[in-house]
Every structure is written in C-alpha cells, then in structure tokens.
Structure 1
Amino acid sequence: MDILSGTRTIHGQLFCGWTHHRELSSLAETRAPAVAPFKLNRMYKPGDLVLGGLFEIHLSSVFPDLFFTSEQQDPICYGMAQTMAFAVTEINRKPSLLPHVTLGYSFYDTCAVLGVGFRAALSLVSGREEQIHVDESCVGSPPVLGVVGDGSSAHNIAISSVLGLYRVPQVRAMLQILRQFDWTWAGLLYSDDAYGHDAAQIFQSELAQSGWGCLAYVEVLPWDSDPAELQRIVSVMKTSTARVVVVIEYGIRTVKLLDEVVEQKVTGLQWIADVSFIEQSNLQTPGFMPYLSTLGIAVRRGEIPGLRDFLLKVHPDNDLDNSHENIMVKQFWENTFQCKFAPLPPEWVIAGGRVCTGHEDLGTAESTLLDVSNLRPEYNVYKAVYALVYYLEKINFTTSFGDQVLFDKNSDALPICDVMNWVWLPDGSTKVHNVGVFKTSASAGEELILDEDRIFWNFETKKPPRSVCSESCSPGTRVARRKGEPVCCFDCIACSEGEISNETDSTECTSCPEDFWSNLQRDHCVPKVVEFLSYHEALGISLTTTSLLGTLMCAIVLGVFIYHRDTPMVRANNSELSFQLLMSLKLCFLCSLLFIGRPRLWTCQLRHAAFGISFVLCVSCILVKTMVVLAVFKASKPGGADIMKFFGAIQQRGTVLALTSVQVAICIAWLVSASPTPHKNVQYHSDKIVYECDVGSTVGFAVLLGYIGLLALLSFVLAFMARNLPDNFNEAKFITFSMLIFCAVWIAFIPAYISSPGKYADVVEVFAILASSFGLLVPLFGPKCYLMLLKPERNTKKSIMGRGATKT
C-alpha cells in the first residue's frame, strides 16, 4: 500500500480530451463493441472546491463483465469511505483553514477492478459521471482540486497514467533495508501486472544508480500460477547464493509460490515484501513457518481523533453530510446488518431475507469500519485531504500523531512507511508487529529507523542472514571483477609488494612512496628499513673490535720498539722506517672504522682517501726497507761502497714522501672531479634502503687501488729477490711472506667487493683492510718482539751479526 497515493493539485482545471482518455477509449473499442455503460458507486458532497477520491473501499464484490460483451449490471461494492468525508467535514468546521469557502468531495469505489478505476478517474477529471465523450466540451460540477488515490499500488500506477506521475515509496524503503543489513546480493520477484513491472523497474533503476547492490536473479510471477514456471523460479531461488528475496506483488499469487518453496524445502531465505504479502492471513500458517523470515513495508499507521464518533453517525437516511447518490452508505448498511432496503429484489424476498429498517444500532455491530485502532490507508487519506487544502508547494504541517506532511519540488508526497515483521509464536501462530519506520524529510532526506532488537529472524542463528555474492575485500587486497558477472561478484587479490589498500573493497592498490614499503598485511606503508654496516650489529661490533685490537697491537709494538730503540735488534732493522711503518699500520687499522656507521658526506669522502694514503704510506715504507736491504748487500760486495750514498736517511724519507704524494694527488683529483657521496640504494632490496657511499668515480677508485697494488707488487718482487741473502739480512724473507699475504688479500678483494650487495661490500673492504694490515704487522714485527721480550739474551750485536742469528 502507498501513502498519499497519487495526490496531485489540478488548480481547478477541467481535463478535457486527454490523450490518455482516447487511448483508453480505443482500448475498449478494440476489445468489444460498445454497449450501455454501468453506473459507478459514488459519494458526493457539493462545495465551492471539490476533492476527488478513488478508493478500493468494498468489503466484497460481485464484479460485472468488464469486457463489455453483455449488458452491464451495477457493480455491487460494499465498503466505507467515511474517513475522507470526516476530514472534509472537519475542515469545513474550522473557518481559519478555508474562510468563506466550502469544501466538497466526490469519490468513487474502484471495486479493486482496474477498468472501474479507469472509468472513475475519467469521471473525476471530466466532471461527468455518465458516458465519457472525449471530443465534447467539458461541463459538470465545480472543478476537482485534487485526487486522493486508494491503497492499491497496482491500481494507482495504472490510473496515474491519467492523473499524473506516480512514485512507489516502498521501493525506496526496501532499498534502505538492504543497505541497513549490507545485503548486496538479492533476488527479485514481481507480479506480471502494471504495479509489478513499474515498481520492479524503479527498484532496479534505483539499485543500479546507487551502485551499491546487485540482483542475483529477476523473475516474473505468472498470472496463472503455472506450476512448471513456479517450480523453475523456486529452483532458481534454491540454487542461488542470494539469501534475500524481494517480493513486489499485489494479490495472492505468492501462496502458490510458497507452496512450491515448501515442496522443494527452500530454507534460510529472508523475504522483503510489501504489506499485501505481510498481511495475508493464508500465509500465516504453521506449514510456512520454517520457510519464512519476513520484513514488510506498510502504510504508516496513525490515529484520527473523532473518527469513530463520526462513523457511528453514518446512516443511510442521515442528511448530515448532504450526500447525493449515496449508494455506498446503503451498501455498507446492508452488508453490516445482512438486510436489504426497499424495493426488495425478488430473489431476496424468495429467500426470506431481512428488511433494513434504518433503526439498526451501529454501536452493537461487528464491523471493521468501526475499528479505528489500526488505521493505515485511512490515516493517509486523512493526511491527503488536509494536504490538498493548500497549494502543494507550501504544505508543511504536523499531524496529531506527530507525522510531518510536506511535498518535494515535484509535488510528490514525501513518504512515510512502517516496517513490519512476522513473529512466530510458540503455539504456531503469528503476529505482525512494527519494528521501524521509513520516512523522508526535506532536511534529513531518506531515513530508515529500525529497532533491530525487536526483529524476529526465523533462522537458527537468530541473526540477520549474510547475503552477498562475494565477501568484502579487506584492506590489503583489491577487487578483481569476474568477467561476465555482476559487479557484486568479484575476487579479492592481495596487493603486490610495495602496494597497499587501506579501505574495504578497494578497486586498486596504491604504491608506497619511495622511502616506504608495504607491511605484511599490505594495508599500511611503513618506512623502509635503512640498512648499513652499523656499530650496533654483531658484524659491525666484531669488525670494530678487530680494528681496535689491531690499533692496540701497533701501539704496543711501537712502545716495545721505542723502549728497546738502543738495542741492536731495533737499530739493525732501520728503526726510523720501522717507526713509520708502525704508524702507517696504525692508520690502516683506524681507517677501517670510517666504513662502519651511517654514511655521511665527510665519512664517504674521507674513508677511501684515508685508506688509500695509509696503505701507500705503509707499502712505501716496506718498499724502501726492501731497497735498503738490497743496497746494504750490494755495498758489502767489492766496488759497492758508493751505493749507500743513494740510500741515506734523507733519501729514504724523500722516497717515502714522494711515493705517498702520488697517492695524495690521486685522492685530491678524485674528490674534486667526482667526490663520493652518501646514497640510498633501493636496487638491492625492494623493502630496504641500503645506505651506502657511492664512490662517485669508479675510475678514481680503480686508480687508487691500482697504485697500491703496483707498490705492493714491486715490494714483493724486490723482497723475493732478497730472500736468499745471508742470514743477517733475513728480514727480506718476512717481507716476502707479508707481501704475499697482502697481495693475495687484495686480489681476492676485487671480485668479492663487486659481487657483494649493500653493506656487505663495506664488510668485504673492511675485512681486506684488517686482513692485509695484520698480514703486515704480524710477520714483520712478531719475531722481533718475541726476541726482545722473551729472548733478550739474543738481542746483542754479536748474535745479530753472527750466523747464528738466522732464526731471528
């Protein structure tokens, strides 16, 4: 049912010669030849302004042949239309509402028959009740201000083609319920009539525009309840993954459908329907109980103070409302008291039926007309009458029941509906109760208010079902549409490394910024781990300790040499070059510390320069020491006395300085042309930033290493040549051994350095520095310290000059 159904201001116009009228007449002519028309059940009250009404007000009907194939008889419709009459009477008693204006009414009983409803609608807009000739000029009663439709959406949608546009508020309420419970996957069943087709079209259009939900299937309920077709429809419902079924149907065809549901034992479905489904008593049976969990949309219930007293005054002879052609009041009276007014039909006399006296007491009668405790369509008729008193654009008032009445810019009534729910009681009976309201206001828009604690869910879990084609994609994944399926059906694909999605049902993953990476859940970007050879990790601590140990050893050896500087052992081994060598080795050990810790500009620039200069200084001292050994040997030969003048102290210092200056020049040129700088390398690990020193110029680094290698190779060759000299010059053997270690370490360094990523390149370089430094320190100074500290008796000139000194 609908609220304020089909209300429309006509502004006093008489609708003559409408295309809709001609189409309807043409339709009638094609069906059968025209015959004498039938009369419409009508209630009329004159006034300066007249309100029209079309109501399905009968209690029971015997319908005439509406296809005009035989002579027509009057439709016999029982019912009531007193609510509209009461509202008009109430308005006329309030001079402040319509001063100096009397309001009348003219409404017809549609008898729940579409043909009758069409004829009544045309009678209202033309102003004539008798034959409608669309080509005539319109004459008749005062203009109809507006029309209030009945409670049947099915009929109102069809009749609205004559009277104006029509909207279905139940559809909006159903969509809000689906959204409320996150039901994005539902089936749709609708009746094969104007109401079903139009409402289903609106439902699908609204659903598509919202982009929120999808329909798993759409099925039309056949008029003839064909068993095979119903069996097929229920099979579709059974096999579908949708757990929610939306039913748009006016009538009782749903009973046959539910019979098939029971036959196929289809359980676990949540049904959403309008009040015509909810209030069908033949559905509220224990047999359907396991199969129905139902929410329905009903016309707003309200209270109308004074209506019952007004209804008790209804009487066929009562002239209170000045009604004319008041057939329906008599029909109601006859139906209520099971009697007939004179003149009596012959068949009634033969059957011995009662004669209506007009003195019957309505107060003692059992009639639904007098039950004003559950007014739904009547309450909305009451609101509609008040609404039509004013211009629609200006209406905004609140009823005594607390409902706001106003219209949107298209003059459509803003709807308000009750949400109903079936409750199955322990004794197997059912009760329909209110669990919420759907309303629309100009300020807040559409609003669904549900008391979810009151809703009876007919499932084992006693909770709302889950009805989705695909579960939502959690953060960290993205939606991947399935080809050829609705948009609600999709797969969830995990975001790739370095990408995230931090919302549910994200359609794509976004890449993290350069310095960030996705976490394991792929829902947040976290700063990348910055990797470098740190003082705080085990590897860094080990190398730092080794470096400091080597530095300490150099200091100890230097102290021993200084302490024994006047002994033959120190003086015989060129003490000045030995001191320079120890100092350069100490620098070699210390320069390795520049490769540990977070790279900075000054450490990147200094580390290779310090490393290159320190090692050149060290190797230069060894080279000069080896050359001095060879010169001394040559000087001991006949005719070689003059050679020593080229290897005096000044020449030795000058040679070391000159050789070291070349490396200094190389380092300066490198730093000036392409200085090493800190660099964030993201090529090695996608989730890490390797913080390293970019050498700047590979050529500069290669020249630096090449110069050290050249001096080391030259020292090795000279020492190798001097290895077989007399025993008192056997230091050449230790130089040969140490230089062999040095060269081996740096030859192995080159491929290891190139193949080591990130901080491990620094580890390789530090290891090479330490290994080569220890390779020079231990062979060159270990035996001498051993003699000076543990064998002092052999630290004499005689022992050193004698042949017994070979082992020293």
Structure 2
Amino acid sequence: MSIKMQIQYQVICIGRCRGVFGMLLFFYTLLLFHHLQTMVENTLCRIMGETKYPLLSRDGEVTIGGIFAVHSKLTSSSFEFTQKPQPLSCSSVNIRDFRMAQIMIFAIEEINRSETLLPNVSVGYQIYDNCGSRLFSMNSTMALLNGHEFAAEGRCNGQSIIHAIIGESESSATVILSRTTGPFKIPVISQSATCECLSNRKDYPSFFRTIASDYHQSRALAYIIKHFGWSWVGAVNTDNDYGNYGMAIFLKIAQEEGICVEYSVKFYRTETEKLKKVVDIIKQGTAKVIIAFLTSFEMSNLLEQLSIQNITGLQMIGVEAWITAKSLIITKSFNFLGGSLGFAVRKINVEGFSDYVINAFWDTAFPCSQIEGNSSQYALNCSIYQDLLELKTYNEDVPEQRYASNVYKAVYAVAHSLHNILKCREQKGCEKGLRIQPQEVVEALKSVNFTVKFGDHVWFDNTGGVVAQYEIVNWQQKSDGSVQFKPVGYYDASLPPDQRIVLNTENIIWAGGQLEKPRSMCSESCPPGTRKAAQKGRPVCCYDCIPCADGEISNETDSNNCKQCPGEYWSNAEKNKSRRTPQ
C-alpha cells in the first residue's frame, strides 16, 4: 500500500470512529505521516552488497562498456552461515576473451590519437569480467547500467555514462544482456554471438553484431553435406540458444535437400550424465559424419568422452565456435578431431596489435604497474591480476584470434556513430556539452558506413547483422606433429547461390588421416535391375534393393520403380535391359 493510500485509509477511519480510540488513532496518523515523510526525504540510493568494479577502465568524455569472459571458471566460497560469504573469485584465464578486451582498448587508444575521428573528444572504457558465469554477466550488466560512480555518491537518478556495450561472447549471455539493456535503449554490439534469435528486431531493437547470424552458417552446413554427397549424418548441439536455434535451421534445410539425420541429440556443459548418453547414441549409430553445432566448452566435454570410450574415425563437421579453438588441441586430440572440417571466422591481421599485447598494453592500460621502492605495495596492487601478468611476454596466439577483428570493428562502429551525433568536423572538432541519449546511438549505428584500416567495409543490415563470410578450415597435422587449421575454401553469402561455396577438395585430409572422402549412407545405392523399397519406420535414406520382377527393368542407379517391358519385349537376366525374346 502506498503512503498516500495509507493516510487516506486512516482519515476515513477517523471520520467513522468515536471517543478516545478515535483521538488516539488521529494522533497516530499524524506521527506516521511525519515519520514516512522524513524517511522519503532522507533516503539515499545504495547498492545492495559489494559494489562491482570494472577489471579494466579509463575515464573519458564518452564511454564504451565491455563484458568478456576473461576468466572461465567461477569459484564460490563455502557457505557455513557463520559469517558473511566472501566474494566469488574467478580463475582459469580465457585467453581468447582476454585478447578481445585488449583489442577493445587498442582500438580506443587508436581513436583517441586520431585527428579525424572524434577529434578533441576522449573515449573511455569500462570492461568487466563475467568469469564465464551468467550470474556475473547480470552483475556486470547492472554495474554498467547503474555506474559505480553513482553508488559511491548515493545517487539513483543519474543517467549511465555508458554509450554502448561491446559483448558478450556467447549467444545465451548476449540474450540476457540485450533483454536487460533493451528498456534503456543502450546499444549492444556483439563480436561473436551468432544465434539467429537475436535477429528479431522486435525483441532486440538495440542489438547489433559484427559477426553473421547462424541463419547463414546453418544453411552452409547443409550445403557442404550435400556437396560431398553424404545423405546419412548424426547431429549434436549445445542445449542453449546458440545450439538449439542453429540446429533447428540446419535440420530444416537438410530435410529440404534430401539429407537424412540418423539422430539429433543435445547436452549442456554441466550435464555429465546426459553427455554420456549422447556419446552412447553416437557410438551405436552408423552415421560416419557428425554435425557438431557446439560451443568450445561442450566440444571439449564431448572430446573427453570420445577419448574415454576410444571412439575414432568420425568425420566431424564443425562451426565457428570450436573449429579453430586452440584450447581443444590437447594430448591425443588429433586422434578424434583430426580431419575435422568446418566454418571459421576469417583470420584478419590487425596491424600493430601483436606488438601492443606485449608492450604498450602493460604500460598504458593495465591497472597495476611497478611502484618504485615499494615492492610490497606493488604485490598488493597486482595480486588479483597475477594470472594475467603471466601473459605479459606471450603473443604467439594472436594470429589465431579470429574474433579480435570483430571487436575492433564494433568499437569503430560506436566511434563513427558518436562522431555523427556530436557533429564532428575536421579542424573544427566536435560539439561539446551535448547530452547523448542512448537511442541516438542506436539510430546512428543503423546508418554507419565506413572502412577499417585492414580493408573490411562495415555496415549493419536491417537485422543489425553483417554479411556472412567464412573460411572453410581443415584440421591437419604438420610434419612436426603440431595441428594446423588449414584453409581449404570459403563461403560468401554476398555472392550468387551457385558461387557461395568454393572448396579445394584435393587439399583436404579426412578423418583418420585418410586421403579419400568417407562414405556415410544408411543404405548403399541400388544398382540397375533393382528398385528402392523404403524400410518401414525409418528415414527415406534407408531402403532395401528389390530385384525387378520378370518382364520389368530399371536401367538407372537408385530407381524408385521398375518399368514394364513393352508387349513384345522381355527383361534380360540382369533386369536392366529389355529383349524381344525371353531368356
């Protein structure tokens, strides 16, 4: 009940009451009203629990937020209910997302040095680590929306200083982020969330991405299966938005293309028992080609179980989420994933980034730095970043960081949008003091059109996405035993349908190190002289070959029916030709 309603109720009661009770109630009402009024006047906005601060940050006149899984594991303290629980801690550096955070800062620093893009405007950033946890994702999102600076001041009516958010890496987390920020119209630009569900502009009007929707990848998977003549495949996907939507599109196109799916199963990373059942189904199946619409987390779990049960010889067809994941290259992994074929985000070299990650980043952007003459203070400041510091001199992974260029393009898209809103002009600079509304940034993003320094043209279609362009890569082994992701073709959705897939088949090494393409059919082809007869209760790709009856022939492979010989003709012994006289 509101304060106003409470007071109205008390006044009505007083009008009806009599005697001492009525007088007491009258004075009680006055005291209650005074108390509630005092409470309202003295109330401050405070964050419940511990304030969450960004992992990496810098102040600026305009600010871009970022959420990445810089760590991949969340460790909780014991709950003994004898003291206040300690904050959750993160472990296990996820180098892919750490590089995304680094290139976001790299791009911002480039823009701050530019004399043509956002001249005389400083760009800041607040980057949060979600530790691969949806709980931390929501925590980070609320921190970006509320702003820790407001919490410190006790204000709850301030507008968030964030003008756009880069992230997240996975589709399900991005769905949560976009739904949370949607009512506030703060734009979200993801570098790697590919779920087709995010193309719905009614549900996600402020969402953009610098990677293509899985609408294209799922169709491309079906086309590559058709291209190699495989009619009998198994399918496994991650049980989340990414996997479920992607697999649904693949299954629809596969059916249209006459591809039969022996089984379609799914599991999530925490479902150990369900994963074991999935592996049993794969083991018992006869399909030699497996469509693996999995994230790198689930692919790692599946690889572990395949290794335990020593299931080899399967031709894996993969998606961009795992096909170039270095984390999967572990001992003996090539025995199970060697020969895998799949679609990858194009590998793009961002000039200067490789040097940046081992030099400038640690000197200019990293929040802990050497304090001369006070090593103990240095250790205290840097203790929470200790595992990241181990990467200070390492950059060998940078050439394979395929999503980094997408983050770079996302940052520049925001910068170009702000440049237009602030009416920036060369030599004259930008208009200062303008209060930028989030919806303005959303509208400006819809019309950005520019080219980044490595040649990619950046613009967003009416779903907030970009043109689908993939490398087709093949897991191969070098002479020294190391694994390489060898490009063997490409897919470009901007080209006419008959030109979208280009493959260099002779360069492909198949499962088990074979040079010959594997066969995957439910039933072998029926030779001339026979007809196909469907097996009851099984897909159309499963059939028996029935010899034609006397007086009938079939002169083609996989005939559905036998033809009656003309009146004066008879079938030969092989039932593939007609003769004038019976044999």
Identify whether the pair has TM-score above 0.5, normalized to the shorter chain. yes
Note closer, same or farther for the CA distance 1:415–1:107 as it changes in structure 2 (3 Å cut). farther
Code of the aligned partner of 1:144: H
Alpha-carbon distance in 1 for matches of 2:224, 2:133: 32
Asked if 1:112 is matched to 2:132, the reply is yes
Shift of 1:151: 3.7
Note closer, same or farther for the CA distance 1:344–1:96 as it changes in structure 2 (3 Å cut). closer
Note closer, same or farther for the CA distance 1:471–1:131 as it changes in structure 2 (3 Å cut). farther
Q: What secondary structure is seen at the aligned counterpart in 2 of 1:276? A: coil
Alpha-carbon distance in 1 for matches of 2:445, 2:551: 59
Q: Which residue number corresponds to residue 537 of structure 2?
A: 484
Find the partner of 2:294 among 234, 249, 261.
249
Q: Which residue number corresponds to residue 68 of structure 2?
A: 55
Alpha-carbon distance in 2 for matches of 1:97, 1:497: 82
Alpha-carbon distance in 2 for matches of 1:204, 1:68: 48
Structure 1: unaligned runs, 5 residues or longer: 1-33, 319-325, 355-359, 530-684, 686-808
Q: Deviations over 1:398-433 (max 9, x none)?
A: 555454544333122223333332223566543333
Shift of 1:193: 4.6
Note closer, same or farther for the CA distance 1:194–1:75 as it changes in structure 2 (3 Å cut). farther
Shift of 1:244: 0.9
Alpha-carbon distance in 1 for matches of 2:336, 2:471: 25
Note closer, same or farther for the CA distance 1:460–1:149 as it changes in structure 2 (3 Å cut). closer
Code of the aligned partner of 1:148: I
Find the partner of 1:276 among 313, 322, 330.
322
1:181-200 matches, within 5 Å, as: 181-200=228-247
Alpha-carbon distance in 2 for matches of 1:51, 1:154: 22
Alpha-carbon distance in 2 for matches of 1:211, 1:460: 29
Q: What secondary structure is seen at the aligned counterpart in 1 of 2:367? A: helix
Find the partner of 1:463 among 511, 516, 523.
516
Q: Which residue number corresponds to residue 393 of structure 2?
A: 366
Q: Which range moves more in the overlay, 231-240 or 151-160?
A: 151-160
Alpha-carbon distance in 1 for matches of 2:62, 2:172: 29
Code of the aligned partner of 1:237: I
Is the 1:83–1:382 contact (alpha carbons within 8 Å) kept by the matching residues of 2?
yes
Find the partner of 1:386 among 379, 387, 412.
412
Q: What secondary structure is seen at the aligned counterpart in 1 of 2:292? A: strand
Shift of 1:284: 3.7
Alpha-carbon distance in 1 for matches of 2:471, 2:157: 41
Is the 1:299–1:417 contact (alpha carbons within 8 Å) kept by the matching residues of 2?
yes
Code of the aligned partner of 1:342: Q
Q: What secondary structure is seen at the aligned counterpart in 2 of 1:373? A: helix
1:263-412 matches, within 5 Å, as: 264-274=309-319, 275-276=321-322, 279-281=325-327, 283-286=329-332, 289=335, 292-308=338-354, 310-311=356-357, 312-315=359-362, 318=364, 329-330=366-367, 342=377, 345=380, 365-368=392-395, 372-388=398-414, 389-390=416-417, 391-394=444-447, 399-412=452-465
Shift of 1:83: 1.2
Asked if 1:87 is matched to 2:107, the reply is yes
Shift of 1:113: 1.8
Asked if 1:204 is matched to 2:255, the reply is no
Alpha-carbon distance in 1 for matches of 2:455, 2:527: 43
Is the 2:526–2:559 contact (alpha carbons within 8 Å) kept by the matching residues of 1?
yes
Alpha-carbon distance in 2 for matches of 1:68, 1:451: 61
Find the partner of 1:139 among 140, 143, 158.
158
Q: Deviations over 1:548-607 (max 9, x none)?
A: xxxxxxxxxxxxxxxxxxxxxxxxxxxxxxxxxxxxxxxxxxxxxxxxxxxxxxxxxxxx
Shift of 1:235: 3.6
Q: Which residue number corresponds to residue 194 of structure 2?
A: none
Shift of 1:243: 0.4
Note closer, same or farther for the CA distance 1:271–1:68 as it changes in structure 2 (3 Å cut). farther
Shift of 1:98: 5.0
| Larger radius of gyration between Structure 1 and Structure 2 | 1
Alpha-carbon distance in 2 for matches of 1:405, 1:504: 49
Note closer, same or farther for the CA distance 1:314–1:215 as it changes in structure 2 (3 Å cut). same
Alpha-carbon distance in 1 for matches of 2:252, 2:181: 23
Alpha-carbon distance in 1 for matches of 2:535, 2:576: 23
Asked if 1:415 is matched to 2:442, the reply is no
Find the partner of 2:226 among 174, 179, 183.
179
Shift of 1:302: 0.8
Note closer, same or farther for the CA distance 1:290–1:74 as it changes in structure 2 (3 Å cut). closer
Is the 2:312–2:335 contact (alpha carbons within 8 Å) kept by the matching residues of 1?
no
Alpha-carbon distance in 1 for matches of 2:227, 2:457: 23
Code of the aligned partner of 2:235: L
Alpha-carbon distance in 1 for matches of 2:448, 2:498: 17
Alpha-carbon distance in 2 for matches of 1:503, 1:441: 38
Q: Deviations over 1:47-73 (max 9, x none)?
A: 565443322234x76645699985453
Note closer, same or farther for the CA distance 1:499–1:380 as it changes in structure 2 (3 Å cut). farther
Note closer, same or farther for the CA distance 1:315–1:366 as it changes in structure 2 (3 Å cut). closer
Note closer, same or farther for the CA distance 1:506–1:38 as it changes in structure 2 (3 Å cut). farther
Structure with a larger share of its residues in helix = 1
Note closer, same or farther for the CA distance 1:260–1:442 as it changes in structure 2 (3 Å cut). closer
Is the 1:157–1:198 contact (alpha carbons within 8 Å) kept by the matching residues of 2?
no
Structure 2: unaligned runs, 5 residues or longer: 1-46, 183-196, 199-212, 418-443
Q: Deviations over 1:695-721 (max 9, x none)?
A: xxxxxxxxxxxxxxxxxxxxxxxxxxx
1:585-734 matches, within 5 Å, as: none
Alpha-carbon distance in 2 for matches of 1:465, 1:454: 15
Find the partner of 1:218 among 238, 241, 264.
264
Code of the aligned partner of 1:300: R
Q: Which residue number corresponds to residue 431 of structure 1?
A: 484
Shift of 1:272: 2.2
Alpha-carbon distance in 2 for matches of 1:288, 1:463: 18
Shift of 1:241: 1.8
Tell me which of the two structures has the higher relative contact order, counting C-alpha pairs closer than 8 angstroms and 6 or more residues apart.
2
Find the partner of 1:149 among 167, 172, 178.
167
Q: Which range moves more in the overlay, 81-90 or 484-493?
A: 484-493
Q: What secondary structure is seen at the aligned counterpart in 2 of 1:314? A: helix
Code of the aligned partner of 1:302: I
Note closer, same or farther for the CA distance 1:106–1:463 as it changes in structure 2 (3 Å cut). same
1:724-803 matches, within 5 Å, as: none
Code of the aligned partner of 1:56: A
Shift of 1:303: 0.9
Code of the aligned partner of 2:136: V
Alpha-carbon distance in 2 for matches of 1:44, 1:231: 43
Q: Deviations over 1:758-803 (max 9, x none)?
A: xxxxxxxxxxxxxxxxxxxxxxxxxxxxxxxxxxxxxxxxxxxxxx
Note closer, same or farther for the CA distance 1:425–1:102 as it changes in structure 2 (3 Å cut). closer
Q: Deviations over 1:177-212 (max 9, x none)?
A: 32332223211223445544444444434434x443
Q: Deviations over 1:200-230 (max 9, x none)?
A: 444434434x443232112334645647x55
Shift of 1:114: 1.9
Asked if 1:73 is matched to 2:119, the reply is no
Is the 2:78–2:85 contact (alpha carbons within 8 Å) kept by the matching residues of 1?
no
Q: What secondary structure is seen at the aligned counterpart in 1 of 2:322? A: helix
Alpha-carbon distance in 1 for matches of 2:282, 2:176: 29
Alpha-carbon distance in 2 for matches of 1:204, 1:66: 44
Shift of 1:270: 0.6
1:224-235 matches, within 5 Å, as: 226=272, 232-235=277-280
Q: What secondary structure is seen at the aligned counterpart in 2 of 1:293? A: coil
Alpha-carbon distance in 2 for matches of 1:472, 1:51: 59
Quote the sequence identity (%).
31
TM-score, length-scaled by structure 2: 0.62
